[in-house]
Amino acid sequence: MSTDVSSLTAQDLELLQRPLYGFLSVAGGPLPPQPRPVWFEVTAEDTIQLFTGPDTLKVRRLRRDPRASIVVTAPVGERERWLSITGRTTVEPDGAHDLAARLAARYWNLDDPARADDLAGILAAVWVRLVIHPETVSRYMY
């Protein structure tokens, strides 16, 4: 295992650009933490972003304490590999719908009418964008 302060390597970016689930934990929650699976996107600025409802428990917790972490792992059948990113998180009022549309295209086949309807339902709702600004990056690669 290795740990770097806030830097993502080319190998990290390759893993993060795949349609994998991330497991998000926020500070101020129950002990032990209870991560939740999320869709996510790594940005050109090496931040991690996701979308969620503006009144969710995670948003309320992040407004009190902006620390969060996300863990992403390679799927079963591949060599063992994971990445953990922790840092300050901002709650952004803009960009969530565009992000949701990009992530839906990444994770779903939008040619499937059921998935296209699911996306329409998502886009009809109100969302905020969470942005994790990496402070510590830990990784393991077998």
For the whole model, what pTM was predicted?
0.92
Given CA atoms 16, 107, 25, 28 in this order, what sign does their dihedral have?
positive
Nearest to 40 by CA among 81, 7, 68: 68
pLDDT tens-digit series, residues 17-72: 999 999 999 998 777 888 999 999 999 999 999 999 999 999 999 999 999 999 99
Nearest to 91 by CA among 49, 123, 126: 49
- The SS3 assignment for 53 reads coil
* Cα 129 to Cα 3, 4, 7, 8, 23, distances in angstroms: 27, 25, 22, 21, 16
